[in-house]
Chains A and B, each alone.
Chain A
């Protein structure tokens, strides 16, 4: 059965590119345009096996979203991979401490993203 990945980014082009790469690799895709939408998606769809998330987003940014999601025990095992233009060590540290499993600086290599997603979802 295909694993479901939640793609969170305020950029429609990035969402499309990530979704396309992962769906062609056999993943089901759910999309969200900001942190709040992402939280709603995670709470309503328990089949989500992984989250690929931007940092700088309107309404609720990616780091705040990770902190919120990971504060709930039922989400401890949910892998969240940050995909962002940001590369500041302080932000990376904050994401790691919040419970994110990895960090990719855009632009990403779609083949590597697929490999990382397979690894993290054990697909």
Chain B
């Protein structure tokens, strides 16, 4: 990268002395004064231009620095926000999983409790059936005994009939309760299966969430992408900085204009003073072939 304006800093050439006997200030004082004033005006303009260029370049540098700083802040802020979101979702998910597991556990406990109650009722029914059987036997024996004692046992026979009837009623009621318990038992296993399925789904969910919780790698990937972008922005900023390095060459070019004006002033004075044989204006020496190229870094 080179600037066409770029020149090496070099010393100002000595102003050209007027030829002996050719004092233009004496012969053309107004013209020479006008030229001197013009040169001063140009010098002021040159100074203003150089100052303006310096201000603008410094301002551009500040803008570049601001852009890079803002990009850096944006990336940092994005990474922080993502990290916070991930942490928040981890907390919410953990709480949800915990509550779900508690619900499933409570449901299982309730089923076990109902099954235990059903077992207890079944035991009670069996005891009731035993009593029913016993009262039935009792009624049969009472009828036999009533028949054996004849007419005096007619009252016992009536009691025996009622006892048998009671036994039958009890037995039928116990049968209905038993059937209901059986129905409850039949209905309960699907509840357990659903709970098991729910638990399986929860575990699957936990696995999925676990994968998401490996967000360290996600964050690292995001951080890596962010850093790559930041590097690219810095590289572009450096490129812009390279393009902004025109202040030195500009200042040197403006100095050259000043110098050339001095030469012109001197030569006009000499012409007005009557000198006719002027030497050619010397060209500034260019960069020698043995000098390093601009931008090239030479490490010793």
Query: Chain A: residues with CB nearer than 8 A to chain B?
Result: 11-14, 16-17, 20-21, 23-25, 56, 85-89, 92, 96, 100-114, 116, 120
Contact = CB atoms under 8 A, between A and B. Distances in A.
B297 A21 contact: no
Contact of B298 (A11, A24, A103, A109): A103
A109 B1 contact: yes
A105 B296 contact: yes
20 contacts: A13-B244, A13-B245, A13-B248, A14-B247, A16-B58, A16-B62, A21-B241, A24-B234, A24-B237, A87-B294, A96-B300, A101-B299, A105-B291, A105-B292, A105-B293, A105-B294, A106-B6, A107-B246, A109-B242, A109-B295
Given A13-B58, A85-B9, A111-B238, A92 B245 contact: no
Given A16-B62, A24-B238, 12 more contacts: A13-B61, A13-B247, A14-B248, A20-B64, A24-B65, A24-B237, A25-B234, A105-B293, A106-B295, A107-B1, A107-B246, A110-B238
Interface residues of B, number: 42
A104 to B, nearest CB: 5
B75 interface: no
Contacts of A92: 292, 298
A89 B245 contact: no
Contact of A111 (B7, B8, B239, B252): B239
B108 interface: no
Nearest to A18: B241
Contacts of A86: 8-9
The winner among A16, A21, A92, A96 for most chain B CB atoms within 10 A is: A16
A112 B295 contact: yes
B54 interface: yes
B234 A116 contact: no
Interface in B167-226: none
A87 B8 contact: yes
A20 B241 CA distance: 8
B8 A104 contact: no
A56 to B, nearest CB: 5
B190 to A, nearest CB: 66
Interface string B36-53: 000000000000000000
Given A13-B57, A89-B291, A104 B296 contact: yes
Contacts of A21: 237-238, 241
A24 B58 contact: no
B162 interface: no
A24 B241 CA distance: 12
Contacts of A110: 237-239, 241-242
A56 B10 CA distance: 10
